């Protein structure tokens, strides 16, 4: 936090940087008018409200108080690079940054450790194809901030749960896969409306794909369509191609050949658009 910047101003700056409105941040935590007074230095939040605000912004109080620390800024830049590579599924380059920058040795915030093990677990699953190592890393990452009785779950925690479900599904641990995937899907539904995180599209794909493999075609199609809607609301192509293709496969299993062809065409259209960008 800058020397001349108040706590409320820091909250406001982080909120705007994450493209969240006051309504989105305040939803389920406090009245929007209360948040406005906090940001304008007219009210000091109680501990419960403060903790909930930090959780929704995916930062810790310690992180807010030291936000302008040079070392923390360097770590944030590295995480930003890794996150961009995750979105583009460039796992080899992700692994290079995680290994060669000695990033783990430079962390001290729980939220940073959580991100690190989320990214590491993703590399272990997609790049190294080590399911056991991926499960250990993802569970370790989740343990830093998440408990079963936690009220305000943040997007990264939901994504880790979904990834765990996908890995468990890959090794045919059906109960564990269902529990993680269903929980991540349910929690996504409880997030504030218009939350900008397009990455959560993957939650719908992971769950729908699992349901399809389990033979629950109608539920799988419903979830996949919700994922498509989520992506389109955010003008994102992230996992959109896969969701259209999955819908096509589900419709084929439901003997809806015409619908299957439509979704296949949409999947191919997304591929063409992505290549043009």
Q: How many domains does the chain have?
A: 1
Q: What is the percentage of the chain residues whose pLDDT exceeds 70?
A: 94
- Please tell me the distance from the alpha carbon of residue 108 to that of residue 72, in angstroms, as a whole number: 10
Higher pLDDT, 186 or 51: 186
Min mean pLDDT across 39-48, 87-96, 178-187, 224-233 is at 39-48
**179 inside domain:** no
Is the pLDDT at 2 greater than 50? The verdict is no
Q: What is the pLDDT of residue 67?
A: 57
Q: What is the percentage of the chain residues whose pLDDT exceeds 90?
A: 65
**54 inside domain:** yes
For 168-201, how does the pLDDT look when each residue is reduced to its tens digit (9 = 90+)?
A: 999 999 999 999 999 999 999 888 777 788 999 9
Average pLDDT estimate for 216-221: 98
CATH number of the domain within which 43 lies: 1.10.260.40
Is the pLDDT at 71 greater than 70? The verdict is no
Q: What is the pLDDT of residue 29?
A: 93
- Please tell me the distance from the alpha carbon of residue 268 to that of residue 76, in angstroms, as a whole number: 36
Q: Which long-range contacts (CB under 8 A, 24 or more apart) does 175-181 make?
A: 177/210, 178/210, 178/214, 181/206, 181/207, 181/210
**241 inside domain:** no
User: Nearest 10 degrees: CA dihedral of 135, 141, 145, 148?
Assistant: 0
Count other C-beta atoms under 10 Å from residue 135's C-beta: 21
Is the pLDDT at 1 greater than 80? The verdict is no
Average pLDDT over the chain, rounded to an integer: 90
Q: What is the pLDDT of residue 116?
A: 95
| CA-angle at 124, arms to 200 and 84, nearest 5° | 45
Residue 214: phi, psi to the nearest 5?
A: -80, -5
**266 inside domain:** no
Q: What is the pLDDT of residue 97?
A: 94
- For 17, the domain range is 1-66
**167 inside domain:** no
Q: What is the pLDDT of residue 250?
A: 98
Q: What is the pLDDT of residue 61?
A: 76
Number of H helices, E strands in the chain: 15, 0
CA atoms within 13 A on the CB side of 14: 25
**18 inside domain:** yes
**149 inside domain:** no
Is the pLDDT at 3 greater than 50? The verdict is no
For 87-140, how does the pLDDT look when each residue is reduced to its tens digit (9 = 90+)?
A: 999 999 999 999 987 888 888 778 889 999 999 999 999 999 999 999 999 999
Is the pLDDT at 76 greater than 90? The verdict is no
Predicted TM-score of the model (pTM): 0.78
> What six digits make up the tokens of 25?
């941040």
């Amino acid at each position: 936090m800058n020397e001349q910047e108040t706590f409320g101003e820091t909250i406001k700056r982080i909120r705007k940087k994450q493209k969240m409105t006051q309504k989105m941040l305040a939803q389920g935590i406090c009245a929007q008018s209360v948040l406005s007074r906090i940001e304008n230095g007219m009210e000091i939040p109680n501990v419960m409200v403060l903790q909930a605000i930090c959780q929704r912004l995916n930062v810790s109080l310690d992180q807010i108080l030291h936000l302008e620390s040079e070392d923390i800024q360097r770590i944030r830049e590295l995480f930003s690079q890794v996150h961009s590579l995750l979105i583009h599924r460039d796992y080899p380059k992700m692994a290079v940054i995680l290994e060669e920058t000695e990033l783990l040795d430079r962390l001290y915030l729980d939220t940073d450790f959580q991100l690190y093990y989320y990214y590491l677990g993703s590399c272990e699953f997609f790049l190294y194809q080590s399911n056991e190592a991926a499960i250990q890393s993802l569970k370790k990452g989740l343990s830093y901030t998440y408990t079963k009785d936690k009220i305000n779950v943040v997007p990264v925690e939901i994504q880790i749960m979904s990834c765990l479900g996908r890995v468990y599904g890959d090794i045919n641990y059906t109960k564990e896969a269902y529990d993680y995937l269903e929980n991540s899907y349910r929690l996504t539904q409880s997030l504030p409306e218009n939350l900008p995180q397009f990455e959560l599209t993957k939650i719908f794909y992971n769950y729908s794909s699992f349901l399809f493999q389990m033979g629950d075609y109608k539920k799988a199609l419903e979830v996949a369509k919700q994922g498509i809607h989520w992506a389109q609301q955010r003008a994102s192509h992230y996992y959109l191609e896969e969701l259209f293709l999955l819908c096509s496969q589900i419709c084929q299993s439901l003997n809806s050949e015409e619908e299957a062809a439509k979704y296949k065409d949409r999947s191919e259209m997304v591929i063409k658009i992505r290549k043009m960008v």
